């Protein structure tokens, strides 16, 4: 046992990831992390400042990881427009702790420069994927393009509901179900009547 831990910052982030995934972020205890890492409960302050700083770092790590994964997606296939969404969902299910922190602004310090930089990186990756849905001619910015926003909402909603345990995840891999769900996104038809035509038509 050394006085210097070696890489306490990383160890704390990993311990927090496990603890949040197991018990939820509301039951995350700094002192519990310190015990798991075998340091004093104030050791983390040098690296993160306070509890919120730790969660902010975790969120930034999540933005970076997700951004990296989404940018590596092969979107050239016949259903390439779906792949970013599927990757988004699979990443969320594989990183529940990060995902939970990433989209709860109450938990983090939104003014943190590292966080903002990582978030901007993810936003860029999302726009690339959304452009596949919206059509390559159009901008994929959800702020201006309702179809892109619909793609993001659908993907994010599926991931959120799945993480909250509201989906039948029994047996079949979620990736296939996600594909089936994401396929139901379509451009708008004439306003005034529904774009869906039930089977009896």
Partner DNA sequence: GTGGAATCTTTCCACTGGAAAGACTACGCC
Partner DNA sequence: GGCGTAGTCTTTCCAGTGGAAAGATTCCAC
User: In the set 13, 20, 30, 97, which binds DNA (CB under 7 A)?
Assistant: 30
CB atoms within 10 A of CB 59: 27
Site string for a second copy, 92-111 (x = CB under 8 A): -----------xxxxx----
Cβ-contact 112, 181 below 8 angstroms: no
The rounded distance, in Å, linking the Cα atoms of 44 and 40 is 8
Give the residue, chosen from 10, 18, 27, 94, that forms a contact with a second copy under the rule CB under 8 A: 27
Give the torsion sign (CA, 140, 146, 147, 148).
Answer: positive
Among a second copy, DNA, none, the one that 124 touches (CB under a kind-dependent 5 to 8 A) is: none
Residue 189 contacts DNA per CB under 7 A: no
Q: Which does 111 bind (CB under 5 to 8 A by kind): DNA, a second copy, none?
A: none
Part of the chain binding a second copy (CB under 8 A), chosen from 2-10, 38-46, 64-72, 158-166: 158-166
Pick one of a second copy, DNA, none as the site partner of residue 167 (Cβ within 5 to 8 A by kind). Answer: a second copy
CA distance 82 to 74: 10
Would you state the structure tokens that stand for residue 155, as one six-digit string?
């993907």
Beta-carbon contacts of residue 131 (< 8 Å; ≥ 6 apart): 138, 139, 140, 148
Task: Give residue for tokens 């792949």.
Answer: 83
> Please, which residue, 11 or 130, has the CB nearer to a second copy?
130
What residues contact residue 29 under an 8 Å CB cut-off, 6+ apart? 19
Residue closer to DNA, measured from CB, 44 or 152: 44
Q: Which residues bind a second copy (CB under 8 A)?
A: 23-27, 78-79, 81-82, 103-107, 133-138, 142-143, 146-147, 149-150, 152-158, 160-161, 164-168, 177, 179-200
């Amino acid at each position: 046992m050394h006085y210097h831990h070696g890489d306490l910052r990383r160890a704390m982030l990993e311990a927090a990831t496990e603890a949040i995934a197991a018990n939820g972020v509301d039951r995350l205890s700094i002192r519990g992390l310190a015990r798991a890492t075998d340091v004093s409960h104030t050791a983390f302050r040098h690296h993160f400042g306070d509890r919120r700083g730790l969660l902010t770092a975790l969120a930034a790590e999540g933005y970076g990881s997700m951004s990296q994964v989404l940018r590596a997606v092969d979107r050239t296939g016949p259903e390439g427009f779906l792949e970013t969404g599927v990757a988004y969902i699979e990443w969320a299910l594989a990183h529940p702790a990060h995902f939970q922190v990433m989209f709860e602004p109450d938990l983090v310090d939104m003014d943190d420069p590292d966080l903002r930089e990582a978030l901007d990186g993810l936003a860029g990756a999302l726009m690339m994927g959304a452009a596949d849905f919206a059509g390559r001619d159009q901008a994929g910015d959800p702020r201006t393009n309702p179809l892109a926003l619909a793609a993001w909402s659908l993907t994010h909603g599926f991931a959120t509901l799945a993480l909250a345990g509201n989906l039948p995840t029994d047996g079949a891999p979620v990736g296939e179900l996600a594909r089936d769900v994401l396929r139901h996104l379509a451009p708008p038809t004439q306003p005034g009547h529904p774009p869906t035509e039930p089977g009896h038509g």
